[in-house]
């Protein structure tokens, strides 16, 4: 309930977020498009709202829900530490990683704002304890 990860663990909630990425939606629209019961939609939206993934505005009897990306960024941030594992090819993605995990012993890049220092990137081969 707390962590962003638990929130998005539920498939219906991911589906709702996937809908809201397109545009804001009313409860009824979500209900129809995802073929879920109305209470189910409301309950998931409640969870998402409490967790800060979405926000709602009132339009007569409707509530229009829209995305709030902050919590999803948390997931993205956690994921960053693993990206090195699939970024063998050097390109824009790698430079993105450099922002999160700085070790630019590279050549010319305009030297963006660096933050904390983390261990050098490396490939872990066999090492004995």
Report the interface residues with a second copy, using CB under 8 A: 3, 5-6, 8-9, 11, 14, 17-18, 21-24, 26, 29, 67, 69-70, 72-73, 75-76, 78-79, 81-83, 85-86, 91-96, 99, 110, 112, 115-116, 118, 124, 127, 129
Binding partner at 43 among DNA, a second copy, none, C-beta below 5 to 8 Å by kind: DNA
Please give the Cα distance from 90 to 98 (Å, whole number): 11
- DSSP-assigned letter for residue 125: -
Residues 8-67 that bind DNA (CB under 7 A): 9-10, 12-13, 26-28, 31, 36-47, 56, 60-63
As given in the structure block, the two tokens for residue 75 are: 């997931």
Neighbours of 46 (CB within 10 A): 11
Neighbours of 16 (CB within 10 A): 25
Please give the Cα distance from 48 to 21 (Å, whole number): 14
Interacting residues with DNA (CB under 7 A): 1, 9-10, 12-13, 26-28, 31, 36-47, 56, 60-63
């Amino acid at each position: 309930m707390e962590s962003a990860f638990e929130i998005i663990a539920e498939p219906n909630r991911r589906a709702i977020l996937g809908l809201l990425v397109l545009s804001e939606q009313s409860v009824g629209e979500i209900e129809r498009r995802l073929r879920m019961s109305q209470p189910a939609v409301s309950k998931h939206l409640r969870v998402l709202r409490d967790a800060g993934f979405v926000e709602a505005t009132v339009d007569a009897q409707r509530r229009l829900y829209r995305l709030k990306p902050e919590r999803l960024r948390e997931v993205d941030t956690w994921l960053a530490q693993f990206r090195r594992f699939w970024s063998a090819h050097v390109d824009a993605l790698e430079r993105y990683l450099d922002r999160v995990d700085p070790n630019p012993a590279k050549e010319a890049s305009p030297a963006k704002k660096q933050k904390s220092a983390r261990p050098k990137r490396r490939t872990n081969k066999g090492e004995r304890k």
